[in-house]
């Protein structure tokens, strides 16, 4: 799964990178984005015009009775996305790209190594990012929801989920899953809301090239979501 990531780029930088428009207020840099927090993401209309918008991380389907369901829907597996009731309709029309400066994954500790308070090997947090320093364009889905119990004028909540796939060779030593990272030549096909070809869309949801990513161990300060500063991505021990 993908449960924490880095979103340190400004809305202006994201807009420029994706050739998108942006109106509204940005989101402060966060080096430890956690589920249920707001993130910036890129959508497109039928004419291909891209827009940067704010979304709640944790998908809340339109039929949900409570926003709390979003905390359980931060990821969607690529292998079953076209089948799950919560995702299959969105897969056809509500797709987006979530910009990340990198993401975290926790590598299982080795047998014989240090143990935590429960007597299990201590996991090492790893910061994973593009080797060239560019933004990651991660595939996701979005939905709209509002609490109809509060009246017909209840505000709309825009929410999203991150699509994951099997780990590539570079990621396998750390975890068996990774976010779907799309190269620029696939952005149009993914974002186009009129592109309903499920087979074509499914073919985009593959592991990234093995040489795309670099990674290094970071300190355990990242384990606490209240820590959000740039020191979190510094190599451990520095």
Which among 201, 179, 202, 198 is positioned nearest to 190, based on CA atoms? 201
Q: 83 an active-site residue?
A: no
Which tokens in the block code for residue 187?
């952005």
- Please pick, among 2, 12, 160, 221, the residue that the annotation labels catalytic: 2
Which tokens in the block code for residue 235?
């190599």
Q: 2 an active-site residue?
A: yes
Which among 81, 44, 73 is positioned nearest to 57, based on CA atoms? 73
- Please pick, among 105, 134, 221, 234, the residue that the annotation labels catalytic: 105
Which among 163, 147, 139 is positioned nearest to 74, based on CA atoms? 163
- Ramachandran category for residue 218: left, alpha or beta (phi over 0 → left; psi -120 to 50 → alpha): beta
Q: How far apart are CA 188 and CA 215, in angstroms?
A: 28
Query: What's the half-sphere exposure (Cβ side, CA atoms, 13 Å) at 145?
Result: 23
Which tokens in the block code for residue 4?
């924490």
Name, in order, each residue with C-beta under 8 angstroms of 69's C-beta and a sequence gap of 6 or more. Answer: 58, 60, 61
Residues acting as catalytic residues:
2, 105
């Amino acid at each position: 799964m993908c449960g924490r990531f880095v979103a340190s780029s400004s809305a202006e930088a994201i807009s420029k990178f994706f050739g998108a428009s942006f109106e509204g207020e940005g989101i402060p840099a966060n080096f430890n984005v956690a589920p249920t927090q707001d993130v910036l993401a890129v959508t497109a209309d039928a004419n291909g015009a891209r827009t940067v918008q704010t979304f709640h991380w944790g998908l809340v389907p339109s039929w949900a009775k409570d926003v709390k369901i979003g905390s359980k829907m931060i990821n969607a597996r690529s292998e079953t996305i076209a089948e799950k009731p919560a995702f299959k309709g969105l897969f056809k029309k509500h797709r987006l790209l979530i910009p990340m400066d990198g993401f975290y994954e926790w590598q299982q500790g080795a047998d014989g190594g240090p143990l935590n308070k429960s007597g299990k090997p201590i996991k090492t947090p790893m910061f994973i990012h593009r080797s060239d320093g560019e933004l990651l364009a991660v595939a996701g889905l979005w939905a709209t929801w509002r609490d109809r119990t509060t009246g017909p004028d209840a505000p709309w909540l825009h929410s999203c989920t991150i699509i994951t796939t099997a780990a590539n060779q570079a990621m396998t030593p750390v975890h068996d899953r990774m976010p779907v990272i799309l190269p620029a030549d696939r952005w149009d096909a993914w974002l186009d809301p009129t592109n309903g070809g499920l087979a074509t869309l499914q073919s985009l949801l593959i592991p990234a090239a093995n040489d795309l990513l670099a990674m290094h161990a970071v300190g355990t300060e990242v384990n606490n979501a209240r820590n959000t500063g740039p020191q979190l991505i510094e190599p451990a021990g520095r």
